A = this chain, B = another copy of it.
């Protein structure tokens, strides 16, 4: 494990009492890292090597018995769900950025929550189903039924994005950030067909042009693609 340098420019809000334990390869960690950059918040970050099982060390299990990453510690509060961490940081450390990413109007917020639960309930479990057997169980490919499930999830997302530039309107919301971490990773496992899923493809492209995507998603996504290539013998051209 090692303390990593801050990704942000240093002009943001420094919260040195907060620490994030993370692995760049994990979409859930990248989701939180993007949220922090979008909120312009600088906190301590600790890199955890999951291949060495560092997330299962006794001191990590005390913080998170589920042995997952990310983990956020803000004084006495410890959180281990990426969505809960992102919305917590936006509401606890309110700023003009935060109100744009996570509006307080109940209807607007509910729509963002709905996409975040779709990510949690549909997209993320399918990412785990496809990636974990390759990363941790010597599987060398995504099984056809899992590929099919992921295509179905793309089809659902295609319907949900009808009439939307972004989930919350004309600029990215916290929901967009949570989803793009997963979808950009799924796109490496099962490439998104531009003809079949034009709205998803365009939304992924729009999100990939955001600054927080460059600062907090790109590196870990490349690392994931490289590791996947090493394990499957197939190199991805996506980033």
- Which of A's residues lie within 8 Å of B, judged by CB? 65-66, 74, 77, 79-81, 83-85, 87-88, 91-92, 106-107, 109-111, 113-114, 117-118, 120-121, 124-125, 156, 159-160, 162
- Taking CB atoms, residues of chain B closer than 8 Å to A156 are 65-66
Closest residue to A157 on the B side, CB-wise?
Answer: B66
Q: Is the CB of A113 within 8 A of B84?
A: yes
Q: Which of B74, B85, B110 contacts A84 (CB 8 A)?
A: B110
Q: Is the CB of A117 within 8 A of B83?
A: yes
What would be 6 A-B contacts, judged by CB atoms less than 8 Å apart? A81-B114, A81-B118, A84-B113, A117-B120, A120-B120, A121-B124
Can you tell how many copies of this chain the complex includes?
2
Give Cα distance in the complex from A111 to B121, angstroms.
18
Give Cα distance in the complex from A139 to B93, angstroms.
49
Closest residue to A85 on the B side, CB-wise?
Answer: B110
Give Cα distance in the complex from A9 to B81, angstroms.
37
Give Cα distance in the complex from A111 to B84, angstroms.
7
13 A-B pairs besides A84-B114, A92-B110, A120-B120 with CB distance below 8 A are A66-B159, A77-B111, A79-B111, A81-B113, A81-B121, A84-B110, A84-B113, A87-B109, A87-B113, A88-B109, A91-B109, A120-B121, A121-B121
